[in-house]
Structure 1
Amino acid sequence: MRKDTIVIREIEAKDNPKITNAIRTVLIEMGVPKVGTAYEDSALDCMLETYSAPKKTYFVVESGNEIIGGAGISPLDNYEGNVCELQKMYFMPEARGKGLGTEMMNKCLNFARAAGFDQCYLETLPYMNDARKLYKRVGFESIDEPMGDTGHYSCTVWMLKDL
């Protein structure tokens, strides 16, 4: 698959079941717990609707008729402050190693800046090494404790970036 046949675009209604499947497939592949992570989020079944509110967006990675990844920005739940969260950034194996992670990060962080957020927060797992390398490369720094209340208590790596 060539990168020039892959498009990053905003989510559409037809993408809901495809991005849900892609995210859960990647989570299973990575051995992520099904509880305390994005796997059990009710938002997975209605991604377009979840990200249609102000200061929220979700982008998908499309190749042909397939959705092979995605990522979104949303205000950080249950937190006092002007902080957003990078959410549900997952890529199927065929999307990896093509620079799409960096491209997706740029799209998401540019949206966050334009929406007026001061910082971007994320949660991940310690063994998601490639993801953590990408986050560090774009300026995220590790922090000592979680922010807000995302419900993802199984995620034990927390990172923050000034926008």
Structure 2
Amino acid sequence: MSNTRDVPFETTIHVRDACLCLHAQRAARTLSRLFDEAFQPLGLTSGQFSLLNALNRPQPPAIGPVAQLLAMDRTTLTAALKPLERDGLVAVTVDPDDRRSRLLHLTDRGRKVLARAVPVWRELHAAIEERLSDLEPDNLRGALNSLARSRPPREGA
């Protein structure tokens, strides 16, 4: 076994300190944990809150637009819908205009749970934004949205 390093430790430190992906993942995990704890009394996770909120539209959306909004593939979204459907918060129906497509509906129970969750979200979200006041949260949102919409070219592509 060789004692030489293929990647110098200095590179490890540089990646740790500079990697946008690592920093975004750490922040996302921290935010998810905070919101999971806040929504726990309502029986929701932060991801379920985001999904219920994404379904809160004048007309029931199809799976595709919701998956795109949440940056999920359709299979992952379908799996995320199962517990919400089981708990009576969401109903999935066949689109009468396209029998191959499914429409996602918030049930009355789902709307009530979402209505109880929104004040919890508002309070925690305001507290988090207050901690970010030096950063200007609108600029952070803009940068994150820009990253979410773009796909940098891969080398050799």
Scaled by the length of structure 2, the TM-score of the pair is 0.29
Structure having greater relative contact order (Cα 8 Å, sep ≥ 6): 1
Structure (1 or 2) with the larger CA radius of gyration: 2
Pick the structure with more helix per residue: 2
Pick the structure with more strand per residue: 1
Scaled by the length of structure 1, the TM-score of the pair is 0.28
